[in-house]
Structure 1
Amino acid sequence: MGGSFGRVGDDGKRTSGGTALADREKGGFWVGAAAALFYPLTWMGRSVYRNAERIPRSGPALLVLNHISHLDPAVDAVFVHRNGRVPRFMAKDSLFRTPIFGKIIAGSGGIPVYRDSSDAGDSLRAAHRTLQEGKIVVIYPEGTITKDPDVWPKRPYTGVARLALENDVPVIPIARWGTHQIWNGYTKKFRPLPRKTVYHYVGEPVDLSAYRERKRDQALLREVTELIMDRVLEQLVEIRGEQPPSRHRDSAEGRA
């Protein structure tokens, strides 16, 4: 396989392709608090990054990832931070009401996602503003960790397409793998030892130019959503070295 790889050692430093501290986006007190909490969590695994240089060092971008473990936000936040940027996560609104963690995620620029409520539109409006301010937004289009027994992605929500089409910013697919082997939220198994390898593979920005002038109806949103998640899936196939089952297997799990 081609591409640029970087491995993060036990000291938390990437052995190749690192970002100089002087080039790092400044985040403030709450980002520092998040780093103090999340960096030690990532030491439970060995991190391997591929094509991390595709994350823009400045300006807005929408990072799109699959979701396999409750540990994902911590390792994804550290991955983005190690590459010089401050991630703003779209996360379920219930997380913002949790002690300590809720204050950290809100203070560091997190965007609450309201499902099936009159506030649902506020999530996207806040994400639009964040992108317009030149920041990084991280989204899990599946909305929650997949329940697929083989840990393939579930059918995604279309909010990712709305954000991608209404903001002319890089839409970057990223597959992450290995966190579920440390902490499996559905089997309740926590197995930090022996240490597992956690992968982040970054794809090329998704070219959406052919879709931007089309009528934005539900059919278009679903098509663009599937296109973006297919790019994430391509990176996941590279990591796993195996092909996923037919999408029809889990189509009943997702909604528009």
Structure 2
Amino acid sequence: MARAREKGGPWVALAAAVFYPLTWLLARRRMEGLEHVPAQGPALLVCNHVSYLDPVYTAVFVHRARRVPRFLAKASLWKVPFFGRVLSGSRQIPVSRGSADAGASLEAARASFDDDGVVVIYPEGTITRDETGWPMAARSGAARLALQGEGVPVVPVVHWGTKSVYDHYRRRFRPSPRKTITVKAGEPIPMDDLRARVRDAEPGRERSAEVSALREATDRMMTAVRELLGEVRGEPVPAPVRGSRGSEQ
């Protein structure tokens, strides 16, 4: 039986009408692991980030799984004429880094879980500066969401090939010759034991339990992302970059 499509409204339909042909024009699409995106209910998708084209392909990937993505994205994008209306109308989540409102984005994401939303986050917070395209150390926002989303599946998703089309740091846009862009989801990452560690911490040890759980949750997510990326690239996975780059998304 085919999945029922989640209703996204007119703004999501408009975005789909633009993104589907755009992703086809820019490159050949290879999308794998759609079955790992839950057919219903909340989910947190944690993704690597190699190009500013990634969100366009992530959006199409999630939409092909018949779900509606809700991205955590820079608040400045809401100031772009018309684009800001699309973001608001499709219920995306603004992130105001370095301000008193920075934590509000995580609260909004948690509220999306209550509304059975599929939240998409790039744990690194920006496109990787690694010359070979492997993920950098992650910020702690994704881990916080993973631990506070009780019962919410945490699904790793990777992109590869988007940087070959658009490399932001080198200011290169090369859709020709035609390339292949792969988006692939993996199996959900176990988080229940870490959620229990925080929930069941002894009085006076709550903070230390939270810190250790956040660190391990970050390591699990980024290990899963790196290993999945290694599968897509067909290459050995280099030693991971440990630690967190701060509390923001």
TM-score with structure 2 setting the length: 0.89
1:195-230 deviations in whole A, cap 9, x for unaligned? 111111211111112211223433321221121111
Q: Secondary structure at the match of 1:211?
A: helix
CA gap 1:252/1:139 in 2 versus in 1, 3 angstroms: closer
Q: Where does residue 33 of structure 1 map in the other structure? A: 14
1:204 and 2:187 aligned:
yes
1:1-256 alignment to 2 at 5 Å?
23-43=4-24, 44-167=26-149, 168-215=151-198, 216-248=209-241, 254-256=245-247
CA RMSD of aligned residues (A): 1.8
| Structure 2 Cα separation of the partners of residues 81 and 197 of structure 1 | 19
Shift of 1:100: 2.1
| Structure 1 Cα separation of the partners of residues 106 and 177 of structure 2 | 40
| Structure 1 Cα separation of the partners of residues 212 and 78 of structure 2 | 32
1:176-195 deviations in whole A, cap 9, x for unaligned? 11111111111110011111
Q: Where does residue 206 of structure 2 map in the other structure? A: none
Q: Where does residue 5 of structure 1 map in the other structure? A: none
Percent identity, aligned pairs only, is: 49
| Structure 2 Cα separation of the partners of residues 36 and 233 of structure 1 | 32
Misfit runs of 4+, over 6 Å? none
Contact 1:34 1:105 in 2 (8 A): no
| Structure 2 Cα separation of the partners of residues 60 and 159 of structure 1 | 17
The number of residue pairs the alignment matches comes to 235
| Structure 1 Cα separation of the partners of residues 88 and 213 of structure 2 | 32
Contact 2:215 2:243 in 1 (8 A): no
| Structure 2 Cα separation of the partners of residues 203 and 125 of structure 1 | 26
Deviates more, 1:207-216 or 1:172-181: 207-216
Contact 2:218 2:244 in 1 (8 A): no
| Structure 2 Cα separation of the partners of residues 38 and 93 of structure 1 | 21
Point out where structure 2 has 5 or more consecutive residues left out of the alignment: 199-208
Point out where structure 1 has 5 or more consecutive residues left out of the alignment: 1-18
| Structure 2 Cα separation of the partners of residues 243 and 155 of structure 1 | 18
1:111-146 deviations in whole A, cap 9, x for unaligned? 011212100110011000001111110110111101
Contact 2:45 2:156 in 1 (8 A): yes
Shift of 1:252: 8.9
| Structure 2 Cα separation of the partners of residues 190 and 87 of structure 1 | 26
Deviates more, 1:138-147 or 1:38-47: 38-47
What is the identity, as a one-letter code, of the residue corresponding to 1:203?
G
Contact 1:51 1:203 in 2 (8 A): yes
| Structure 2 Cα separation of the partners of residues 172 and 191 of structure 1 | 30
TM-score with structure 1 setting the length: 0.87
What is the identity, as a one-letter code, of the residue corresponding to 1:195?
R
| Structure 1 Cα separation of the partners of residues 115 and 243 of structure 2 | 36
| Structure 1 Cα separation of the partners of residues 43 and 99 of structure 2 | 27
What is the identity, as a one-letter code, of the residue corresponding to 1:116?
G
